[in-house]
Amino acid sequence: MSNRTTVTEFLLLGFSDVRELQILHFVVFLVLYLASLVGNLLIITAIALDHHLHTPMYFFLMNLSILDLGSISVIIPKSMVNSLMNTRSISYSGCVAQVFFFLFFTSANVALLTIMAYDRYVAICQPLHYEMVMNREACVQMATIAWISGILNSALHTGKTFTISFCGGNTVDQFFCEVPQLLKLACSDSYLSETGVIIFSLCLVFSCFVYITMSYVQIFTTVLRIPCEQGRHKAFSTCLPHLTVVSLFVFTGSFAFLKPTSSSASGLNLIVAVLYSVLPPIMNPIIYSMRNKEINGSVSKWMCWRLFKRIKCP
């Protein structure tokens, strides 16, 4: 217990010790963060203000954008500040908060992606029952379940992680407080329970991925029966990017949590972490929305109204 209480801060891994590369890292992360911020805020605003977009699909999409904003805002700003200020430290309480909120947003994200796959399955494979199954009350309940599941999963992991004794120092081999890297600092006999929780959570995530895959197998089977080539192309162009992002998130995240941390190169750790923590919040607005004509039209009209009020917008 004395070893754990002496840890008042953690030292995060920097992308480089060279000052010029630290500035480059700050600029790159700033651009990525602003791109995610602008893209997701535009989606949220467009869906909230356009009553034509008040449908189950866009309701879930707005929740996804909120979660993406939360997940990237938890880790990117701190990493940017550390690079700009040429420091590596994060307080103990700051690390706890970072672990809790990042796991909360990412866990809820996985649950919401599964719900969105179910929504598309009902819409394409059971269109006659869609309005009855995906009514307003059901959508609110499903979104609430996704958020609550994220809170519960995050609270469980955070509690298990920070009740262990840290005997391996306070240097985290990652640019944010990542659970596997924190466990690397734990005493040899105190992290087994948290490891079991991680494996259980990964099984749940993999189950969600299998459900999403099976849902889209049914969707593709139904779409292939559509005689209209344009309709088939639209469905495939929407589903395939979705599966790409889900696969990227699930497999890189699982690899980050399951790989042997002691034998992994720091550079590989950083690349994998960026892939599953930074890339999805940036790609989701492009994949789920910017390819959608309704979202494009709503965003264009809103921006036109805000920036050029005197011009008659189409």
Q: Is residue 297 part of a domain?
A: yes
Rounded Cα–Cα distance for residues 25 and 285 (Å): 23
**314 lies in some domain:** no
User: How many domains does the structure of the chain reveal?
Assistant: 1
Asked whether 239 and 213 are in contact (CB, 8 A), the reply is no
pLDDT in tens, 111-166: 998 998 899 889 888 888 888 999 999 999 999 999 999 999 999 889 888 888 77
Has residue 313 been placed in a domain?
Answer: no
The answer to whether residue 209 is domain-embedded is: yes
Phi, psi values for residue 186, rounded to 5°: -80, 160
CA 125 → CA 42, 49, 197, 224, 242, distances in Å?
30, 30, 36, 12, 17
Decide if 43 is inside a domain: yes
CATH assignment of the domain containing 8: 1.20.1070.10
Q: pLDDT category, 75, cuts 50, 70, 90?
A: very high
The answer to whether residue 212 scores a pLDDT higher than 50 is yes
312 domain residue, yes or no: no
The owner of tokens 């995906």 is: 134
Asked whether residue 55 is assigned to any structural domain, the reply reads: yes
Q: Residue 94 — pLDDT band, cuts 50, 70, 90?
A: very high
286-295 confidence digits (pLDDT tens): 776 655 666 6
In DSSP terms, 10 is beta-bridged to 90
Reported as a single tens digit per residue, the pLDDT across 231-245 is 666 666 666 766 777
Q: Please write the tens of the pLDDT for every residue from 46-72.
A: 888 877 778 898 899 899 999 999 999
pLDDT score at 99: 94
Instruction: Give the integer Cα–Cα distance in Å for 255 and 292.
Output: 32
Q: Is residue 224 part of a domain?
A: yes
Structural domain for 142, as ranges: 2-307
Query: Which pLDDT score is estimated for 302?
Result: 58
